[in-house]
């Protein structure tokens, strides 16, 4: 049975560094439909930034390729898939270790997956060497208090 989503967007772009900001902004604009807080939106933007940067730096290295972003809304949750057709990851568990990097010569900390995991509610990595990698992340957006509750909270604080 196919899963039902309330809305979906798909985006493809070339693995150029300046497209990272574009992807981050596009996903943030799409996520805005869920009325996230500034902090929730910042978390989503940071996680997308890390995933796209991984594609640019690691998947395609010095050549260009296509990065795909799919974002779906389901009730109060955003699910984001970021994938590439790059070189793939040989050992996902090792790659997810904090401070592990295959590019020690770059000013990179090896914290990309750790950041994605800490800023999102869930993160899954699938990869096949020579075929590419897909990172799937999700985040539930906390419901806002109803107007009556907000008024009550304001009165209660006075």
By C-alpha distance, which of 97, 12, 27, 89 is closest to 54?
A: 89
- SS3 assignment, position 2: coil
Is residue 50 among the annotated active site residues?
yes
Out of 19, 77, 108, 126, pick the active-site residue: 108
Out of 20, 24, 40, 54, pick the active-site residue: 54
By C-alpha distance, which of 17, 12, 119 is closest to 69?
A: 12
Is residue 54 among the annotated active site residues?
yes
What are the two backbone dihedrals, phi and then psi, of residue 16, each rounded to the nearest 5 degrees? -105, 145
Out of 20, 50, 81, 117, pick the active-site residue: 50
List beta partners, residue 136.
81, 124
Kindly state the DSSP code that residue 91 receives in the 8-state scheme.
-
How is the beta sheet containing 122-128 ordered, strand by strand? 7-14, 66-74, 77-84, 132-140, 122-128
Q: How far apart are CA 110 and CA 112, in angstroms?
A: 6
Is residue 97 among the annotated active site residues?
no
Annotated catalytic residues are 50, 54, 108
């Amino acid at each position: 049975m196919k899963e039902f989503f309330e809305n979906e967007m798909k985006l493809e772009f070339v693995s150029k560094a300046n497209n990272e900001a574009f992807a981050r902004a596009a996903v943030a604009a799409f996520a805005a439909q869920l009325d996230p807080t500034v902090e929730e939106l910042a978390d989503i933007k940071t996680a997308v930034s890390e995933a796209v940067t991984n594609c640019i730096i690691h998947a395609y290295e010095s050549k260009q390729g296509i990065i795909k972003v799919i974002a779906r809304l389901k009730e109060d949750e955003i699910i984001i898939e970021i994938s590439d057709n790059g070189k793939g990851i040989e050992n996902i568990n090792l790659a997810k270790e904090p401070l592990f990097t295959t590019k020690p010569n770059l000013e990179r900390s090896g914290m990309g997956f750790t950041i994605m995991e800490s800023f999102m509610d869930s993160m899954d990595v699938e990869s096949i060497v020579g075929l590419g990698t897909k990172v799937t992340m999700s985040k539930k957006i906390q419901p806002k208090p109803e107007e009556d509750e907000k008024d009550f909270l304001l009165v209660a604080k006075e």
